[in-house]
Amino acid sequence: MDYRRDVRKREMRLGRGILYGLYKRRIRRWLATQELPRHVAMILDGNRRWAKQRLLETAAHGHRAGAAKFREFLIWCDDLDIDVATLYLLSTDNLTGRHSEELEELFDIIADLAEDLSRFRNWRVQHVGSTDGLPARLVASLEAAAERTRSNTGLHINLAVGYGGRREIADAMCSIVRAHESEGGALDTLAEILTPELIGDHLYTGGQPDPDLVIRTSGEQRLSDFMLWQSAHSEFYFVEALGPDLREVDFLRALRDYATRHRRFGS
């Protein structure tokens, strides 16, 4: 009896797997005729809850699972010829709001991820964020990954580490003031040249297209200080699944939803 039950379970899993594969191929075929986003930003939320639900010993188990999912997500993006992907890995708020032990584990996980991504495919890795509050070993790993991939021409990956949207805008303004002063400009003339385009050029992501689509997992529907300037005209898509449980079909559905939207850009 037990044997027959096991056989039925395996057959059910196999059947679901076949249907799942057919469904994904159907969405991909439709997406092949649509305009896809050039830049996708991902807030992979829910790693700690994922670990807690599974009664795992520490949050680090969830963060490692999240890092593995980020790599998988980037493969999905690359296979669909998306140009830029931004991953929200560690915020400025995290640096002050998380326990030191969890942060130390996160630093190592992020460093390992940067190393891994910089040696995979033809991807270009860039750190976007501040180095304030980051340990030297993590900064070194991020810089090494960027240097190693500087000449790569494939998927451009932004690793948002020590990142805060408000801090980014403040840093951009400071950069503009310093550049203006270095060119001999007076402070009272700065207002004459200050434009949204100039501020955008001095952001961490200066020169890149703004994200067309921002995805967040775990059912939360907020930005959490992520790409506040760049997402002014972005489309948003929220997934109920916790970060490590995100499936390729969830991503394909997000792209399908994006493709059906009419982007007005304020018009």
For the chain, the first-to-last Cα distance in angstroms comes to: 65
- For the question of whether the overall pTM of this predicted structure is more than 0.85, the answer is yes
- Angle (CA) 131-133-137 rounded to 5° is 70
* Structure confidence by residue, pLDDT tens digits, 214-244: 999 999 999 999 999 999 999 999 999 999 9
State the chain's maximal CA–CA distance in angstroms.
86
What pLDDT sits at residue 240? Answer: 97
Annotated active-site residue in 47, 78, 94, 210:
94
Query: Pairing mode, if any, of strands 235-238 and 156-163?
Result: unpaired
Helix/strand/coil for 105? helix
CA–CA distance, 49 with 192 (Å, rounded to integer)? 49
Where do the H-state alpha helices sit in 32-156? 47-53, 59-79, 92-97, 100-117, 136-148
* Structure confidence by residue, pLDDT tens digits, 41-75: 999 999 999 999 999 999 999 999 999 999 999 99
* Structure confidence by residue, pLDDT tens digits, 162-208: 999 999 999 999 999 999 988 888 877 888 889 999 999 999 999 99
* Annotated catalytic residue 108: no
* Annotated catalytic residue 45: yes
Closest CA to 27 of 80, 71, 78: 80
> Does residue 217 contact residue 241 with C-beta atoms inside 8 Å?
yes
Annotated active-site residue in 45, 78, 210, 212:
45
- Those residues whose C-beta lies under 8 Å from the C-beta of residue 83, and which sit 6 or more positions away, are 38, 39, 155, 156, 209
Burial of 185 (0-12, 13-18, 19+ CB in 10 A): middle
